[in-house]
Chains A and B, each alone.
Chain A
Amino acid sequence: MVTAPAAVFDEMVTGAGTIRPHWQPIVGALTALPPLIFAERVERARRQFQENGVTYNVYNDPRGVDRGWSVDLLPLPIPAPEWRRISAALAQRAQLLNMVLQDVYGPQRLLKEGLYPPSLVYGNPRYLRPCSGVTGGGRNGLHFYTADLVRAADGAWWVLSERTDAPSGAGYALENRNVLSRTLQEAFRASPVRGLQPFFELWQTALQALAPPGRDNPRMVLLTPGPYNETYFEHVYLARQLGLTLVEGADLTVRNDHVYLKTLGGLQQVDVILRRQDSEFCDPLELRADSSLGVVGLVEAVRAGNVTVANPLGSGVIETPALAAFLPNLARQLLGEDLLMPSAATWWCGQDSALTEMVANLDRVVIKPSFPTRGEEPIFPRTLSAAGKAELIGRIKALPHRFVAQELVQSSAMPVWTPAGLAPQPMVLRVFLVNHDGQFVAMPGGLTRVSGDVKKPVVSMQRGGVSKDTWVLSDGDTPTALAALATSRPLPIRRSSDDLPSRAAEDLFWLARYVERMDNSARILRGALSRIGAGNIGPRGHVEIGIATRLAASYGLLDTTLIGAPADSNAVVSALAHACGRGPAIDTIFRSLHRLTTNVRHRLSADMWNVANTLTSEVRAHLKHGPNDIDKLLRGLDLVIEVLAAFGGMASENMTRHAGWRFLDMGRRLERALFTCAVAGGALAAPARGTEAGLRVALEMCDSTITYRTRYLSAPQAGPVLDLILTDDTNPRALAFQLVATTAHLDALPRRDERPFSGMEEKLAHGALAALRLQDIEALGNPDTFDATVDRLRSLVDDTQRRMLALSDALTRAFFSHVKPPQALGYDLSAG
């Protein structure tokens, strides 16, 4: 086994202390920048990444799912001749692994001929037997491959690890380029940097070519495990770049061995799936039955040739680091060539000689599991005590085939900008290759990562690394990024994006309902607390607080036993205070808002996301931590209402009027209709029953006090107030306004049945609007007809509430849930 030399290669400076030639334009441009300007650029880049929402989620991080993307401004430049060597070497390895993959799920000739150990397949949990005869070759060959490289002291590159299942990072690399090329314009212009865009265009073409024959205009999707995945940002970003619909398993269904996307417009056949979730989780029917992320029947659909999954299912089997020990021989046998780039020396402990060598060189290796599971860390024996080493050796000897020893390669030093100057840190370069028509083509760039901590031997974004742009330099044969920029193809004009998955429509609908319910709850609590906080509650105040507490109870904010309790009693005051920040009703709303905004994050603008984030973090904390201070709580409730107004404003001003927006708006309209009905019901029912106190509260809840005052210049009267909040369709708070908007949305939605009013939800909305329009509100002004009219209006609002709840169910049936949640069926062997 060849091993890498010790000592360190410096990326920027030669042994003689001079700047390497390909670094000189960069260093020249950067040293020309005054330090303050440079610091400002660093800050600008950081802000840009934050604004673009670039995150990397870290598992088990108490700070939650989002960590900002850390970048360093200094790029890694790679000269053209060196890049040609790297890309040719990796194309060779990808080709080789593709052949191994095809053999694993095919004839297994390589195992039978003893070219690598069978237990790397048979003992490998990522070997998925249902994929036998399916994965490998043609459209089901390896599609995308990444390799992590380090450079040893002599300047040669070594492969540390390779990814073949669902490799990540290409999207981050592109985003790094987009931001950093602008931040460091001077240096970027001074170097002939190759552009990344052509690679993504090539990738898109390669994906299209994977479509089953005869599908000329294939529908392609990117399958993500969802917003809690560590690289979810990249899934969203790549889907946009490659023109794919971003879907989760629940968005897809298999019928008749074809895969369909569940959209608002019905089922749409899917031809190509770019897979970003681990194979094992992709089909609970044939792979892991406990997966809730999968698509039932996907393997069978692939088998039938009706859809292509890339990378093919089961391609994680060749990710085992143990394979590296056998690749040189496999290359000679399968390609008749030597490997152009070696792996870091690898010993698979399942062989006695390797085990012995591993024990003898314990301090010079890192121990990795042959079949890593999530969260399993590599072990550095040199950091262990003698007892620790003995224990490790014992563990390895018990199950030797489960372990791999890999030589520690001293990686090159890459300068990283710090406020104190440039500091060298160990570096890893990830390179991406796509299979285009049988040839593996490398993205001319990559994701360069430094450990972020000189003492940490492993470079990993999961462990808090920092990333960099990678500049592959052109030597004239290839177009540079600037040239590519100037000749970028004009995009065809489009008015809508892809079909909206039903699940996204559902999430948007419920997000809006919870936003509105939050606003309603804040208004109810503010109505009660502001009167209590003002002190000196008179008889009118007691009545008004009573009405507000009834409303609060109907919204689950207060216990119903408190209805009718004295308004200023300790029980009522402390229950109201509790309800603001800690009560179960508010807690449910906050948690639902957090979940739904996370789910639909990529459909919201960064500003809307920030607003939602402010609400569920800062405002929530404010309400939670001021339980006994009424003034502080009132400020918190004001904040809730203001922040939600900003959210609503952005939705109405910044979102295009696509189907997603319609569901967002319908959610708001429907929830507000329910609230207005509850408020009007409160003003009409005993004890208020049309009295001034009840009407005053109603106006306040519906944010219509000022309108009433300017319109009537008089104390509230039943007729004018109820007209304003129920039947006046020019008032955006009135019930009529909500119903008019809802019917308009329903009329505009895509439907399979073109007949008007064919859907139950249309019947319900139009019916509620017609019933409201037939009301004679002015009859409230006549004492003779007052009581009968109050009763009629009460039954109207009760009836409208019922219709609105039924409407929500009807929408769910018509647009959201094509299927019920899946469950596994077992077999009973109890008697056998």
Chain B
Amino acid sequence: MIYDVTHRTTYEHGETVDLAHHVLCLTPRTFEYQRVKHVSLHAVPGGETNSLTDHFGNTVTYLTIDEPHEEFVVELQAEVEVVDRPKVDLTATPPWEKVRDALAGDGFPAPVEESEFIHPTAQTPSLGALRSYAATSFTAARPLLAAVRDLTRRINTDFKFDPTATLVTTPLAEMFAERRGVCQDFAHLQIACLRGFGLAARYVSGYIQTLDKDGKPNLVGGDASHAWVAVYCPGLGWIEFDPTNDLMVGGQHVVLAWGRDYGDVSPTRGIILGGGRHQIDVAVRLVPVPA
């Protein structure tokens, strides 16, 4: 499947911005299930830019705008080819405790690089309440991915998608107590649960295809940036789950970047001088290109 991706972010500032520094994590990754055929990132006003590969292998673009402006627009246009993930027999995966023990490794985990993702972060804290919640899925000796799939489904059932319930800054504990949030909250929640059990989980930022009018329901998040979860499974690598839509990730998802949490891969962030209050508008379109 090939997609035309358009992602435009517009900041309207109440007052003039004198100087702006932006960090853009807005270039789709190329990896085994995805190939970027074409990509362009266009910003108005423009400025000095520099792109590099970050610690997680994402392409990050630094942009400095050293001229007064009231509006900032950045648009990603990309053509991305996505291939279906191979079918995984969830029940044939190792017991989750075995994976946990390997990642703990009495201080010396195997594999080392994946062990980076077992540690809690500010947005995926270690909370007793989450451990109790997830314990229902992590019964003794249950195959790892069967347990994760079950947790994905439970989160989707127990939590309500509600764009008005949380902000980027809402603590996970609060979201958990209120039982509502958006894709980023769902992803953080599942990641925190998995790390609470000593498993390696990462946050994936990207997009999901909207299915149109022919009777099928729209998938939530179709017109916005999306986020989901990947969990490390020995022998298989990173397997992705989408708790917002109760899905195994496949050909409908386009990956932008991954990291430990949202903070590592926020599509845009920045520090501006001046500007007053601002409004942000995000427009995402994901259009399948006929093969």
Contact = CB atoms under 8 A, between A and B. Distances in A.
A111 B66 contact: no
A129 B264 contact: yes
B234 interface: no
Interface stretch (A348-356, A413-421, A491-499, A647-655): A348-356
Most buried by B among A284, A286, A296, A829: A829
B108 to A, nearest CB: 5
Name A's interface SS.
Answer: loop
Nearest to B109: A118
Interface string B250-284: 00000000000010101111111111001010100
Nearest to A822: B271
B271 A296 contact: yes
Interface string A793-832: 0000000000000000000000000011111111111111
A827 B264 CA distance: 13
Contacts of A830: 163-164, 182, 224
Interface stretch (B29-37, B48-56, B81-89, B146-154): B48-56
13 contacts: A122-B115, A123-B119, A254-B64, A823-B272, A825-B271, A827-B269, A828-B168, A829-B224, A829-B262, A831-B182, A831-B221, A832-B182, A832-B221
A285 to B, nearest CB: 5
Nearest to A351: B107
Contact of A819 (B19, B108, B112, B113): B19
B107 A297 contact: no
Contact of A822 (B66, B183, B221, B273): B273
A828 B280 contact: yes
Contacts of A828: 168, 280, 282
A256 B225 contact: no
Most buried by A among B11, B22, B273, B278: B273
A733 interface: no
Name B's interface SS.
Answer: mixed
Given A286-B23, A826-B266, A256 B48 contact: yes
Contacts of B64: 254-257, 297
Contact of B21 (A285, A401, A829): A285
Contacts of B18: 819-820
A126 to B, nearest CB: 13
A820 B273 contact: yes
Interface in B108-126: 108-109, 112-113, 115-116, 118-119, 126
Given A829-B227, A831-B224, A832-B225, A822 B282 contact: no
Most buried by B among A114, A122, A257: A122
A130 interface: yes
Interface string B2-27: 00000001010000001111110000
B106 interface: yes
A827 B267 contact: yes
Pairs A-B, 6 closest by C-beta atoms = A831-B224, A832-B224, A129-B55, A122-B116, A820-B274, A117-B107
Contacts of A827: 9, 168, 225, 266-269, 280, 282
Contacts of A129: 54-56, 264
B21 A254 contact: yes
A132 B57 CA distance: 11
Contact of B183 (A123, A300, A829): A829
Contacts of B275: 823
Nearest to B274: A820
Contact of A829 (B113, B115, B184, B274): B184
B264 A825 contact: no
Interface in A333-360: 348, 350-353
A124 to B, nearest CB: 9
Interface in A498-557: none
A831 B185 CA distance: 12
A822 B272 contact: yes
Given A114-B108, A257-B50, A828-B280, 16 more contacts: A129-B55, A129-B56, A132-B55, A284-B271, A285-B23, A286-B23, A303-B52, A348-B107, A352-B106, A353-B106, A819-B273, A819-B274, A822-B272, A827-B225, A829-B168, A831-B163
Contacts, number: 137
A253 B66 CA distance: 12
B1 to A, nearest CB: 20
Contacts of A118: 108-109, 112, 115-116
A755 interface: no
Contacts of B115: 118-119, 122
Interface in A300-317: 300, 303-304
Contact of A824 (B112, B244, B270): B270
B285 interface: no
A455 interface: no
Contacts of A256: 48, 64, 66
Nearest to B264: A129
Interface of B: 9, 11, 18-23, 48, 50, 52, 54-56, 62, 64, 66, 106-109, 112-113, 115-116, 118-119, 126, 163-164, 168, 182-184, 221, 223-227, 244, 262, 264, 266-275, 278, 280, 282
Contact of B119 (A112, A119, A824, A825): A119
A589 to B, nearest CB: 30
Interface bin, chain A: 35 or more
A825 B18 CA distance: 14
Contact of B62 (A300, A350, A352, A820): A300
A421 B109 CA distance: 57
Most buried by A among B22, B56, B115, B126: B115
A825 B54 contact: no
Most buried by B among A117, A256, A303: A117
B271 A824 contact: yes
B96 to A, nearest CB: 19
A825 B11 contact: yes
Contacts of A823: 271-272, 275
A130 B55 contact: yes
Contacts of B227: 829, 832
A52 B64 CA distance: 44
Contacts of A821: 273
A819 B48 CA distance: 19
Contacts of A123: 119
Nearest to B24: A827
A108 B116 CA distance: 12
Contacts of B20: 825
A297 B271 CA distance: 9
A296 B226 CA distance: 28
A321 to B, nearest CB: 15
A824 B269 contact: yes
A132 B58 CA distance: 13
Given A256-B64, A348-B107, A300 B119 contact: no
Nearest to B270: A825
Contact of A111 (B48, B106, B112, B183): B112
A700 B20 CA distance: 53
B163 A285 contact: no
Contacts of B267: 827
Nearest to B169: A826
Contacts of B270: 285, 824-825
B280 A297 contact: no
A257 B163 CA distance: 38
Interface in A398-446: 399, 401
Contacts of B221: 831-832
Interface string A237-268: 00000000000000001111100000000000
Contacts of B66: 255-256
Contacts of A829: 168, 182-184, 224-225, 227, 262
A304 B48 CA distance: 13
Contacts of A831: 163, 182, 221, 223-224, 282
A304 B52 CA distance: 11
A129 B60 CA distance: 13
Nearest to B9: A827
A401 B164 CA distance: 38
